[in-house]
Amino acid sequence: MIYFENVSKIYPDGTIALEGATLSIKQGEFVSIVGHSGAGKTTLVKLLLGEDQPTGGSVSFDSVDIQNVRAKDMPDLRRRIGVIFQDFRLLPNKTAYENVAFAMEVAGKSDEEIASDVPHVLELVDLSKKMWNFPRQLSGGELQRVAIARAIVNHPDLIIADEPTGNLDPVNTYEIVQILKKVNDMGTTVILTTHNRGVVEALGKRVITMDHGKITRDDMMGKYAL
């Protein structure tokens, strides 16, 4: 489903963020990408989302070379990928319900679909009781659960969670990872980036380790090792 072939990324200031990165991810996998801050995890995600171009090599998604996707076709590709960030990125003036509904509106879904799917997906992340709360009335863990609901509501093929537990305590971290696992069990491919050793060890899924822009390990039932 995803293929990085000998990918390098050198930023204009000369920073080498990725060097000779080759990896493939199959549909339905749950893959954690771990490494210290600055290892290149976010750069990898940006290249996959087409937000930046590799300096060398190629990045493909379902056999489509992302660098060759025309600007007008990019939104179609992006709709197939749900993204979750460390800082949640919810709209502050919309309730949990409205944040999720908005993602469906933007994707052109009907009012009927929105009215039936939003409560369902908020129930999946155990937020039914708080769906009328605004972001300022929610805890960090709850905010991230809204963000997950928003990311999955349009049934993407892939969820990318870029350091989703970076702002959370251990209990909330555990809950978020369990929800991502549930999403994966339902068939969605998940890529999780983290520097949190505990998160990855508890999962027992594939772990790709990065260090200074290089993939240094790829363990199927991995342990985090730097």
Q: Which two tokens stand for residue 41?
A: 């995890």
For the window 41-80, what string marks contact with ligand ADP as x by the rule CB under 6 A? xxx-------------------------------------
Instruction: Compute the least distance from the CB of residue 31 to ligand ADP, in Å.
Output: 15
Closest CA to 171 of 130, 139, 148, 193: 139
Piece in contact with ligand ADP (CB under 6 A), picked from 32-40, 75-83, 138-146, 151-159: 32-40
Question: How far is the C-alpha of 131 from the C-alpha of 98, rounded, in Å?
Answer: 8
Piece in contact with ligand ADP (CB under 6 A), picked from 35-43, 87-95, 112-120, 125-133: 35-43
In the block, which residue shows the tokens 């809204």? 146
The answer to whether residue 15 forms part of the interface with ligand ADP (CB under 6 A) is: yes
Q: Sign (positive/negative) of CA torsion 74, 77, 80, 86? A: negative
Piece in contact with ligand ADP (CB under 6 A), picked from 37-45, 97-105, 138-146, 197-205: 37-45
Closest CA to 45 of 84, 88, 73, 91: 84
Piece in contact with ligand ADP (CB under 6 A), picked from 30-38, 62-70, 113-121, 122-130: 30-38
Question: How far is the C-alpha of 165 from the C-alpha of 80, rounded, in Å?
Answer: 23
Q: Which two tokens stand for residue 43?
A: 């750069």
Cβ proximity to ligand ADP: between 101 and 208 the closer is 208
Binders of ligand ADP: how many residues, by CB under 6 A? 12
Instruction: Compute the least distance from the CB of residue 72 to ligand ADP, in Å.
Output: 25
Contact by Cβ (8 Å): 91, 97? no
| Amino acid letter, 5 | E
The answer to whether residue 160 forms part of the interface with ligand ADP (CB under 6 A) is: no
Positions that interact with ligand ADP (CB under 6 A): 11, 13, 15, 17, 35, 37-43
